[in-house]
Structure 1
Amino acid sequence: RVQEAGQSAMDAIVSATSLAARSLGLQDAIGAVAPGMEADLIAVDGDPSRDITALRRVRFVMRAGRVYRNE
């Protein structure tokens, strides 16, 4: 749907992360991977900046420093 709407994959990722944090007034705490910020991360199979469907292929989630795998 992202591509159908004319939005690039990277624009969609930015909208879901840093722009969402900013709209909630949380840009100083979340929304980016940077020193001093909180971050939960996902590792995916593929490059979501080129193919947004890679976000459907999650290999693991890192939350609060712990790795969770769907095995």
Structure 2
Amino acid sequence: AKLTFGTDAAVYPYGLGARQFAYMVRYGMTPMQAIRSATTEAARALGKEGEVGSLRPGAWGDLIAVRSDPLADIKALEKVEAVIKGGELVR
């Protein structure tokens, strides 16, 4: 079974959705599995695999930058330093 990260449940106030990653890891996922739930697995669930959710030529250029390694501490994803959307720095 695959688990997909979602933002439509309105569980967290705007901007705090990344807290879900810590719960995913706390309850058994590896940090990489949690990250993939919001990237490659989400793209697959939406039928957009290869267009979004991965870093490859031809895919949308949306990504975030964080100061530390989220594979070592998944909570690093809660502290976004920069946002790149469509290949442009927006934050």
Secondary structure in 1 matching 2:34: helix
Counterparts of residues 1-71 of structure 1 (less than 5 Å): 1-69=23-91
Q: Over aligned residues, Cα RMSD in angstroms?
A: 1.1
Count of paired positions: 69
Higher strand share: 1
Q: Which runs of 5+ in 2 are unaligned?
A: 1-22
Secondary structure in 2 matching 1:55: helix
Does the 8 A contact of 1:10 with 1:50 survive in 2?
no
What TM-score does the superposition give when structure 2 sets the normalisation length?
Answer: 0.70
Distance in 1, matches of 2:49 and 2:78, equals 26
Distance in 2, matches of 1:3 and 1:38, equals 27
- Alpha-carbon shift at residue 11 of structure 1 (Å): 0.5
Q: Which runs of 5+ in 1 are unaligned?
A: none
Distance in 1, matches of 2:49 and 2:70, equals 22
Identity %: 43
What TM-score does the superposition give when structure 1 sets the normalisation length?
Answer: 0.87
